[in-house]
């Protein structure tokens, strides 16, 4: 673990109440302010501490050795619900599908995965404001290299329904640009305060965006390195304050496949490989629908049949070359 700690750029702990008092969020859209007012009414108490850390890209291992470590893959056909674990031997982390400028759109009208997560975890807004006032760079990419950011111990203070529900004023749901167009009454009906708040651990990392044609081998290696670094950092953070190494569970989904136009099967299989390389115990993949389930099944089949068909060690560089030869294609942005 000491070798990986050499990749630590910075780490700082924030008292949540002091953070919220000294760096209140700045909102530029009334619906975001309304959500905040519902989950953080005047006089409310914010408990605990946030542990913020930022990491340099870690070198990929030379080999994937299946016999040394197995990662369980679990599918959930829904979006993140951040259910608190009742098992003290487990540490769970959730991906933030980040912009390179961490949480930069939290105060505006947009409501993609990043902004949804920040709205439900309002201390993340204050964390961004505190970072901007400090000498800590809120960047998940710098000099064209990934620098994933981890936040451990943030309160989730509300749950926001984003599904289509005409009876509650959201006939098109609230995802993406629909949030900014929703009425205040629809926002109130969709926002459920959590009392007491639950606690979430977050891995913020940006996927590459806007490619064209077939993925280049450099893009594939970059994605693998980004996910490997974020997952390894989560394993390190999980062990820092625990006398025993906890079981590491990471919740993810189709990272980089919405506004960024990534290929769903490719992004799933690269995360599966990253989880194995970084010795994640369980990767929980949130597929949300039948098409997502099929995309994940295809990715798992490629890993098991074509990339790691038996228990023999495989060179990581050879895996990257095989994936490149499959000629995965960039898609189009979904506009959110």
155-203 per-position pLDDT tens digit:
999 999 999 999 999 999 999 899 999 999 999 999 999 999 999 999 9
Give the model's confidence band at 305: pLDDT under 50 very low, under 70 low, under 90 confident, else very high. very high
Sequence-distant (≥ 6) Cβ neighbours of residue 140 within 8 angstroms = 98, 99, 100, 102, 146, 147, 148, 149, 204, 205, 206
Both tokens assigned to 194: 């959590």
In a domain, 17, yes or no: yes
Residue 167 has what DSSP assignment?
G
pLDDT band of 2, cuts 50, 70, 90: low
List all residues 6 or more positions away from 324 whose beta carbon is below 8 Å from its beta carbon.
215, 216, 217, 220
Query: Which CATH number goes with the domain that contains 83?
Result: 3.40.220.10
Rounded Cα gap, residues 147 and 230, in angstroms: 8
Residue 190: other Cβ atoms inside 10 A: 24
- Considering the entire predicted model, what is its pTM? 0.94
What the block records as the tokens of 273 is: 């490989």
CA dihedral 169, 173, 178, 182 (to 10 degrees): 20
What is the number of domains present in the chain?
1
Query: Is residue 334 included in any domain, yes or no?
Result: no
Q: What is the pLDDT of residue 131?
A: 96
Neighbours of 169 (CB within 10 A): 16
Let me know if residue 135 belongs to a domain: yes
Share of the chain above pLDDT 90, in %: 81
* Closest of 146, 121, 300, 104 to residue 232, by C-alpha: 146
**For range 249-276, the mean pLDDT:** 93
Q: Give me the chain's average pLDDT, please.
A: 92
Domain that holds residue 195: 2-325
Quote the pLDDT of residue 312: 84
**Structural domain includes residue 18:** yes
Query: Is residue 330, in this structure, part of any structural domain at all?
Result: no
Asked if the structure places residue 304 within a domain, the reply is yes
pLDDT reported for residue 210:
81
Contacts of 14 (CB under 8 A, 6+ apart): 49, 50, 52, 127, 130
Kindly state whether residue 331 falls inside one of the protein's structural domains.
no
Can you list the alpha helix ranges (DSSP code H) found in the chain? 2-5, 16-22, 30-39, 113-120, 123-132, 178-181, 184-190, 217-240, 264-277, 290-302, 316-325
Is 336 part of a structural domain of the chain?
A: no
């Amino acid at each position: 673990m000491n070798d990986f700690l050499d990749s630590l750029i910075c780490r700082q702990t924030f008292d949540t109440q002091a953070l919220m008092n000294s760096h209140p969020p700045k909102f530029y859209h009334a619906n975001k302010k309304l959500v905040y007012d519902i989950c953080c009414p005047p006089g409310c108490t914010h408990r605990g501490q946030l542990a913020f850390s930022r990491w340099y890209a870690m070198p990929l291992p030379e080999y994937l050795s299946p016999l040394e470590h197995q990662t369980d893959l679990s599918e959930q056909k829904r979006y993140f619900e951040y259910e608190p674990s009742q098992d003290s031997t487990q540490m769970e982390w959730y991906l933030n599908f980040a912009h390179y400028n961490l949480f930069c759109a939290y105060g505006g009208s947009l409501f993609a995965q990043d902004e949804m997560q920040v709205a439900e975890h309002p201390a993340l807004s204050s964390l961004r404001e505190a970072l901007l006032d400090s000498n800590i760079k809120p960047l998940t990419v710098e000099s064209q290299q990934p620098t994933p950011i981890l936040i451990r111990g943030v309160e989730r203070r509300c749950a926001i329904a984003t599904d289509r529900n005409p009876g509650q004023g959201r006939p098109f749901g609230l995802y993406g640009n629909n949030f900014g167009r929703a009425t205040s009454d629809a926002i109130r009906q969709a926002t459920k305060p959590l009392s007491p708040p639950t606690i979430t651990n977050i891995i913020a990392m940006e996927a590459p965006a806007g490619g064209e044609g077939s993925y280049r081998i450099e893009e594939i290696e970059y994605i693998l390195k980004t996910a490997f670094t974020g997952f390894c950092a989560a394993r390190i953070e999980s062990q820092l304050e625990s006398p025993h190494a906890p079981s590491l569970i990471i919740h993810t989904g189709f990272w980089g496949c919405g506004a960024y136009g990534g290929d769903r099967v490719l992004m799933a299989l690269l995360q599966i490989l990253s989880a194995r390389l970084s010795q994640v115990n369980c990767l929980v993949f949130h597929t949300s629908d039948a098409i997502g389930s099929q995309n994940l099944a295809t990715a798992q089949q490629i890993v098991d049949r074509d990339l790691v068909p038996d228990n023999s060690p495989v060179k990581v560089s050879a895996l990257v070359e095989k994936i490149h030869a499959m000629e995965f294609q960039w898609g189009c942005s979904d506009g959110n």
